């Protein structure tokens, strides 16, 4: 999980007009209710096959030392993780300021599944209804606690529109674990690797996040494949 990046390239400030993921209409940028302090934010799910370059300026400067300490082969799975999960871009007015990624459990690619299997104290928090949150990166000139909270709230609401998610989880550094407490996360376990680096496994009930961040979880919109025809 990362929260550090430099300003994205100017040409990346506008969205590509490609196909959106997770059932969103082409070119659609969804708007959800953000906290009152950040009324100008909007979020959109990206089709990473076509729109990946939009957020590369942010991702290039994501600190990934902790992730590679636990899983040296993590970088090779990036494209697979992007396709399995939901990658979002967040704008303030017309300026791209942040990105975030959610990956569902069950595919064996999240750090919780690869590095923490059998070690968690809360099995439900890392089961079928749990998603890993990561690659949260905000451009430095837009970084503040209010903006971070608004970005997390907005993106979680977007995730809930098309997915049945009860928990979010992450494997991160102690510093980021403290930050995520402000979003409703709690510590499940602390682990020190062979290199001496500390890692923290955290999770949050989505209902707790909604209460802490001040949003009402949206009712999930069923995908067409889930609808039963008469």
Cα of first residue to Cα of last residue in the chain, in angstroms, is 44
Residue 225 within a domain: no
How crowded is residue 76: how many other Cβ atoms within 10 Å of its Cβ? 9
C-alpha torsion 67→69→74→76, nearest 10: 130
CB atoms within 10 A of CB 11: 9
187 occurs within a structural domain = no
- Assign 8 a pLDDT band (cuts: 50, 70, 90): very low
Residue 29 lies in a domain: yes
- Count Cβ atoms within 10 A of the Cβ of residue 217 and give its class: 0-12 exposed, 13-18 middle, 19 or more buried: middle
Residue 15 lies in a domain: yes
The string of pLDDT tens digits covering residues 34-61 is 444 555 899 999 999 999 999 999 988 6
Structural domain that includes position 82: 10-170
The proportion of the chain whose per-residue pLDDT surpasses 90, expressed as a percent, equals: 54
pLDDT category at 224 given cuts 50, 70, 90 is: very low
Place of tokens 């490609």: 18
> Residue 212: is its pLDDT beyond 80?
yes
Please tell me the number of Cα atoms within 13 Å of 225 on its side-chain side: 4
Position 129 in a domain: yes
Q: Is position 74 within any domain?
A: yes
pLDDT of residue 218: 66
Tell me whether residue 105 is in a domain. yes
Band of residue 209 on the pLDDT scale cut at 50, 70, 90 = very high
Q: What angle do CA 1, 113, 60 make, to 5 degrees?
A: 30
In this structure, what CATH number is given to the domain that contains residue 131? Answer: 3.40.630
Which tokens in the block code for residue 79?
């494209």
Mean pLDDT confidence for 115-129: 78
Helices (H), the chain: 48-51, 53-59, 65-70, 78-84, 111-115, 145-160, 174-180, 206-213
- C-alpha torsion 34→159→52→43, nearest 10: -20
Q: Is 118 left (phi over 0), alpha (psi -120 to 50) or beta?
A: left
Q: pLDDT, tens digit, for every residue of 156-198?
A: 999 999 999 999 999 999 999 999 999 999 999 998 888 999 9
Task: Please say whether the beta carbons of 51 and 43 come within 8 A.
Answer: no
Predicted local distance difference test score (pLDDT) of residue 1: 53
User: How far, CA to CA in Å, does 225 sit from each of 23, 33, 112?
Assistant: 11, 27, 29
Count up the domains in the chain and report the number: 1
Select from 113, 147, 138, 145 the least CA-distant residue to 128.
113
Please identify which residue in the block is written with the tokens 């902790």.
66
Q: How far apart are CA 171 and CA 118, in angstroms?
A: 14
User: Looking at the domain assignment, is residue 136 inside a domain?
Assistant: yes
Given a cut of 50, whether residue 10 has pLDDT beyond it is no
């Amino acid at each position: 999980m990362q929260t550090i990046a430099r300003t994205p390239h100017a040409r990346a400030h506008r969205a590509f007009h490609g196909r959106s993921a997770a059932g969103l209409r082409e070119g659609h940028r969804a708007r959800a209710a953000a906290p009152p302090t950040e009324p100008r934010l909007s979020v959109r799910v990206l089709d990473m096959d076509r729109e990946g370059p939009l957020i590369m300026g942010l991702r290039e400067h994501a600190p990934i030392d902790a992730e590679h300490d636990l899983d040296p082969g993590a970088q090779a799975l990036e494209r697979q993780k992007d396709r399995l999960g939901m990658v979002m871009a967040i704008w303030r007015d017309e300026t791209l300021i942040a990105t975030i990624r959610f990956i569902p459990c069950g595919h064996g690619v999240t750090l919780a599944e690869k590095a923490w299997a059998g070690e968690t104290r809360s099995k439900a928090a890392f089961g079928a209804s749990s998603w890993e949150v990561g690659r949260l990166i905000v451009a430095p000139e837009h970084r503040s606690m209010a903006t971070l909270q608004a970005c997390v709230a907005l993106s979680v609401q977007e995730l809930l529109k098309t997915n049945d998610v009860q928990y979010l989880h992450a494997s991160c550094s102690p510093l980021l674990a403290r930050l995520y407490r402000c979003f409703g996360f709690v510590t499940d376990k602390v682990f020190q690797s062979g290199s001496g680096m500390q890692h923290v496994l955290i999770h949050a009930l989505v209902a707790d996040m909604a209460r802490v961040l001040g949003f009402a979880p949206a009712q999930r919109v069923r995908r067409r494949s889930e609808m039963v025809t008469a």
